[in-house]
Structure 1
Amino acid sequence: MDSPTYGIRSIRQPRFKALCPSTTLCKQDKSFTLSFDVTMILHLPPTQYFFMASHSPRFLSLTRRAFSSSSSSSLGGVSMVQGASRGIGLEFVKQLLENDDKELVIATCRNPSASTGLIHLKDKFADRLRILPLDLTVESSIEASALSIKGTYGRLNLLINASGILSIPEIMHPETTLNKVEKSSLMLAYEVNAVGPILVIKHMWPLLKAGGGNGTGRSTAVVASLSARVASIGDNRLGGWHSYRSSKAALNQLSKTVSLEFARKKDPITCILLHPGTVDTDLSKPFQRNIAPDKIFSKEFSVQKLLSIINNVKSHDNGKFFAWDGQEIPW
């Protein structure tokens, strides 16, 4: 007798069938036990599945399982880092991969082929790291990334918005006086620091609702956007940096607003903002001269602290703004 062929069929997608040749079927006490190679379904959407064993010409119905609640937790979470080409974003990708050998990580940036750091991580974590192009200034690019993630994973459990712009040589500089404020700098800062991240949240929203906290140990999915203490209106005592301050303050307001919508709709998503401290990156390097050395953090230290906040976040933290040490920052 030929060996039977077993497949997986989604309740929500009855036409979908993924063959698992390594599946075996055993009869035990008039019931059937199904075993299969879990790697075969690693990237299936988190929904309910029932398993069909076919032995031509008859079909034998086996059992229905809640894939999203039990099996998904054994597979780990699916995390996305937007702005992952270098600096803090790249370090987030690295630590997420190193900290959990079940974590699937999606790294996005405008030009992945130019990121030697991501290429190196891909060589090391080929089976758990996916790199996607995403231009933060083009909404269709953001939407395309969301559709790609939906088709492969069907969910997200963590979204980190790590992009940020403070200065560009010969193009944009932090303003020290009102006389140096330019429309082009303001618009660019708002586009990268506020508009882009909120559009990423918009298009990843269905995936975050689908993922919730499944496979992570958290009660909800988490959206963590990198802000800055200088975005605080109540804590602004020095002025200056008009474009950067105001664009990050806009990100804070937008994030707070969507957090209220998540709560009102009872979506399993917690939205927080994070201040990483002054970190030794390309963004801060031109402005480190007047900062005490012990106040400048390494990327490794800052991301370790931020991930600790993310991993311990509770639903009542929704809409809050935290510094790297876990202290709340006033709006």
Structure 2
Amino acid sequence: MNSIVIGANSAIASAIIHQLAPSCDNLIAISRKALITDNDNINSIVCDYSETSITNAVEQIAKMQLPSIDRIYICNGILQNETIQVEKRIENFNRDAFLSVINANTITPILWLQALFPLTRKQKCKVVVFSARVGSISDNRLGGWYSYRASKAALNMLLKNLSLEFAKRAKGVKIIAFHPGTTDTSLSKPFQQNIAKDKLFTPDFVAQQLESVVNPIQTDGQLSYIDWQGKDISW
């Protein structure tokens, strides 16, 4: 099996790599900083996620002439950082912050899928893109988090479009929008105080659950929007 993990230095992506490495002939780990590993099956590609850098990374993958690309995991994204904070009230909404979140969570994953399309269109490949339950419009009961919610809802719509196109042009490709649950990472640290202990997952648990739900999924020309239990999430 040959796999690509994008956003490889994140906690969940690192756990996915650890989970996949024993069964992969080639595992391509893409991140802003080189992945340090002594595993000869893991190839590290440095990318800053600009369009040029994404194109260059895919060109490097093409030169490897892999017989197949069986799995793609797009794990990168942003909730908040030193300059961006989730919005509790409309007064907190900020145009520049919104555009940064949309760029990271919505545009960048689609640019990756656009660039990788020529390498996957004639293959059987499962593509996992990290979405979130808060991207569900019908499930939104609390409000807030304007930018993050909107970025994930927009991502879901673009993935839906892509799945319909792939049903005609890349019939072996299956796209999965995946909600990992609340995971004990730096992204969730500021919001963990109200999370029950049995609902706060380790990255290793999420990686294991991901494989258990993705493995049996069949290519059907549809976008699957599922959580860590394999349960469908409403749009």
TM-score range normalised by the length of the shorter chain: over 0.9
Q: Conserved in 2, the CA contact under 8 Å of 1:272 and 1:317? A: no
Q: Conserved in 1, the CA contact under 8 Å of 2:180 and 2:206? A: yes
2:174 & 2:208 partners in 1: Cα distance?
A: 19
Give me the TM-score of the superposition, normalised by structure 1.
0.69
Which residue of the partner structure matches residue 285 of structure 1? Answer: 189
Letter of the 1:158 partner, please give it.
R
2:8 pairs, out of 78, 84, 94, with: 84
Which residue of the partner structure matches residue 140 of structure 1? Answer: 52
Q: Which range is displaced more, 146-155 or 318-327?
A: 146-155
Letter of the 1:184 partner, please give it.
D
Which residue of the partner structure matches residue 99 of structure 2? Answer: 187
Identity %: 37
Q: Are residues 1:103 and 2:29 paired?
A: no
Letter of the 1:162 partner, please give it.
C
Q: How many residues align?
A: 234
Q: Which runs of 5+ in 2 are unaligned?
A: none
1:311 pairs, out of 201, 215, 229, with: 215
1:309 & 1:183 partners in 2: Cα distance?
A: 37
Q: Which range is displaced more, 149-158 or 159-168?
A: 149-158
Shift of 1:307: 1.4
Any idea what the Cα deviations from partners look like across 1:73-131, whole Å, max 9, x if unmatched? xxxx2110110112111111111103x1x43110001122xxxxx31xx21x1x20000
Q: Are residues 1:276 and 2:176 paired?
A: no
Secondary structure class of the residue paired with 2:114: helix
What RMSD, in angstroms, separates the aligned Cα atoms of the two structures? Answer: 1.3
Which residue of the partner structure matches residue 168 of structure 1? Answer: 81
Which residue of the partner structure matches residue 42 of structure 1? Answer: none
Letter of the 2:234 partner, please give it.
P
Give me the TM-score of the superposition, normalised by structure 2.
0.96
Greater relative contact order: 1 or 2 (C-alpha under 8 angstroms, separation 6 or more)?
A: 2
Secondary structure class of the residue paired with 2:140: coil
Shift of 1:260: 0.4
1:302 & 1:166 partners in 2: Cα distance?
A: 18
Shift of 1:266: 4.5
Shift of 1:182: 0.2
Shift of 1:316: 2.3
Q: Which runs of 5+ in 1 are unaligned?
A: 1-76, 113-117, 213-219
Secondary structure class of the residue paired with 2:220: helix
Larger radius of gyration: 1
1:320 pairs, out of 195, 208, 224, with: 224
1:317 & 1:289 partners in 2: Cα distance?
A: 40
Shift of 1:135: 1.7
Q: Which range is displaced more, 318-327 or 146-155?
A: 146-155
Shift of 1:159: 1.0
